[in-house]
Amino acid sequence: MEAMISNLGMLELAIGLILAGCGIGAGLALIAGIGPGIGEGNAVAKALEAIGRQPECKGDVTTTMIMGCAIAETTGLYGLVIGILLIFVAPGLFVDLLMRTIG
Amino acid sequence: MQSMPNKKEKRAEKSGSRFFASGSHYLLLAALPLLAGIVLKVLFGVQKEGVSITGAQIFFTLPMPWMDLPITESQINTWLLLLSLYFLVRYLTFDLQVVPRTKRQILAEWLVEKTESLVRTNMGAHMMGFVPFIGAVLALSAFSSLLSLIGLFAPTSDMNVIAGWAVLVFLLITYYKLKCGPLHYLKSFAEPLPFFTPMNIISEIATPVSMAFRHYGNIMSGAVISVLVAAGLQGLSALVFGWLPGWLGEFPILRIGIPAFLSVYFDLFSGCVQAFIFAMLTMLYISGAFAYDDYLAIQKKKETSLQQDHARTEPSAAADPRRG
DSSP codes, B36-84: HHHHHHHHHPPPPPSS----PPEEEEE--SSS-EEEEHHHHHHHHHHHH
**φ/ψ bin of B23: left (φ > 0), alpha (ψ from -120 to 50), beta (otherwise):** left
Question: Of A70, A81, A84, which has the smallest distance from its Cβ to B277's Cβ?
Answer: A70
Residue A63: per-residue pLDDT: 84
Residue B234: per-residue pLDDT: 82
A8 interfacial to chain B (CB closer than 8 Å): no
User: Which residue type, as a one-letter code, is found at position B269?
Assistant: F
Distance CA B288, CA B283 (A): 8
User: Are the beta carbons of B277 and A88 separated by less than 8 Å?
Assistant: no
User: Are the beta carbons of A77 and B280 separated by less than 8 Å?
Assistant: no
A70 interfacial to chain B (CB closer than 8 Å): yes
**What is the average per-residue pLDDT within A76-81?**
87
* A28-32, B6-10, B182-186, B249-253, range with the lowest pLDDT: B6-10
* A90-94, B15-19, B176-180, range with the lowest pLDDT: B15-19
**What is the average per-residue pLDDT within B79-108?**
88
Residue B141: per-residue pLDDT: 93
Q: Which of B54, B156, B210, B265 to mutate to test the interface with A (most CBs of A within 10 A)?
A: B210
Residue B80: per-residue pLDDT: 93
User: Are the beta carbons of A77 and B274 separated by less than 8 Å?
Assistant: no
Nearest CA in chain B to A70: B277
What's the mean pLDDT when you consider all of chain B?
Answer: 83
What is the value of pTM for the model shown? 0.80
A–B: how many Cβ contacts below 8 A? 36
User: Are the beta carbons of A66 and B210 separated by less than 8 Å?
Assistant: no
Distance CA B64, CA B69 (A): 6
Residue B6: per-residue pLDDT: 55
Q: Which of residues 148-177 of B touch A (CB under 8 A)?
A: none
Q: Which of A30, A40, A67 to mutate to test the interface with B (most CBs of B within 10 A)?
A: A67
**Taking Cα atoms as reference points, which of B26, B12, B13 lies closest to residue B94?**
B26
Q: What are phi and psi of B151, to 5 degrees?
A: 85, 5
Cβ within 8 Å of residue B95, ≥6 positions away: B21, B23, B102
Q: B225 or B168: whose pLDDT is higher?
A: B168
Contacts of A71 in chain B (CB under 8 A): 214, 277, 281
> Please, what are the domains in chain A?
33-91 (1.20.20.10)
Chain A closest CA to B90's CA: distance in Å? 30
Residue B136: per-residue pLDDT: 93
User: Which residue type, as a one-letter code, is found at position B245?
Assistant: P
**What is the average per-residue pLDDT within A63-79?**
85
Q: What is the pLDDT of residues B131-170, one digit of tens each?
A: 999 999 999 999 999 988 888 888 998 888 999 999 999 9
Residue B48: per-residue pLDDT: 66
Contacts of A74 in chain B (CB under 8 A): 210, 213-214
- The answer on pLDDT for B97 being more than 50 is yes
User: Are the beta carbons of A81 and B274 separated by less than 8 Å?
Assistant: no
ipTM greater than 0.90, yes or no? no
Distance CA B141, CA B223 (A): 16
User: Are the beta carbons of A84 and B280 separated by less than 8 Å?
Assistant: no
Packed helices B159-178 and B270-289: angle between N→C axes, nearest 10 degrees:
20
Chain A closest CA to B293's CA: distance in Å? 27
The total of other beta-carbon atoms located within 10 Å of residue B35's CB is 12
